[in-house]
Amino acid sequence: MGDIKKAILFINLQKVNAKALADEITEALERKNSEVRSCTFESWSGLETKDEYDIAFSLGGDGTVLYAARAMAPARVPIFPINLGTLGFIAAVPPDAWAAVYDRWAAGRVGCSRRLMLEVRVERRGRTVTQGSCLNDAVISASGIAKVIRLHVESDYMRLGEYRSDGLIVATPTGSTAYSVSAGGPILDPELEAIIINPICPFTLSNRPIVIPAREVLFVEVEAEQRSGVLLTLDGQITEPLEPGDRIYIRQAPYEARLIASDRSMFYKALRTKLSWSGGPNA
């Protein structure tokens, strides 16, 4: 991998020992002549030149990885996801093993898992009013409790029709194990290139989750006569209010999240552990 000239640490200070581990990583990298910067969710301004970083460390749980991915993936900066929470589907590196994994990655013996991300743009009366990206999912839902919303959904290849439901989840394969699976969606291999369209508590039981190729562009329109409030939420962390008639464009991002040491084997290990899967005896 060559020398790491500049690194950034995204730290979730709500996690026990996060600050102590950040200090340990900073000291270790600086001994190797790397410049290190630390930030939290609140202190990251997004104004920095992202492509000047060689690596981004995520110190927290899966939520911290999602935040780091949205910040750094557009600049193709690889993310080193250290898990300071319970066993996560994305954050895979144990804190006591970070140095060994880092050295193996720097020597080219550990690869990156490349994960599809989504670009989301909201158009209102012909003008773009907001745009962003997500690694897990984009969710369009009612802003109140138990309010059915009406959405028109189609892609550039097909018309899926009108959805009357509590909302709609558009998830990546990485996000298939998040909100989508709780709403009855399928679990996808994290390195597939596909998009899940999953209605939340649909009024019509025949509305089922569907998986489409990632190359398709998805269009979701909030019905013009919609009365209850509607929200767009990205990765469960960014929320934007929508208005009747708004048109949401969702497509595969032109970049991927590069997650160090979070390969498919770690994903399936997390699946077996979290879902209590049991198999037959090893051959």
- Look up residue 52 and give its DSSP letter: G
What does each C-alpha distance from 17 to 14, 24, 67, 85, 134 come to in angstroms? 9, 11, 19, 11, 27
What strands, in cross-sheet order, belong to the sheet with 238-242? 210-213, 194-200, 167-171, 137-142, 230-234, 238-242
Assess contact for 80 and 58: CB atoms under 8 A. Answer: yes
φ/ψ of 279, rounded to 5, equals -120, -175
Residue type, 147: K
φ/ψ of 25, rounded to 5, equals -65, -45
The residue from 3, 54, 62, 137 that is catalytic is 62
Query: Per residue in 206-224, is it b (16+ CB within 10 Å) or e — as a string?
Result: ebebebbebebebbbbbbe
Q: State yes or no: is 62 an active-site residue.
A: yes
Residue type, 192: L
Q: Which amino acids are annotated catalytic?
A: 62
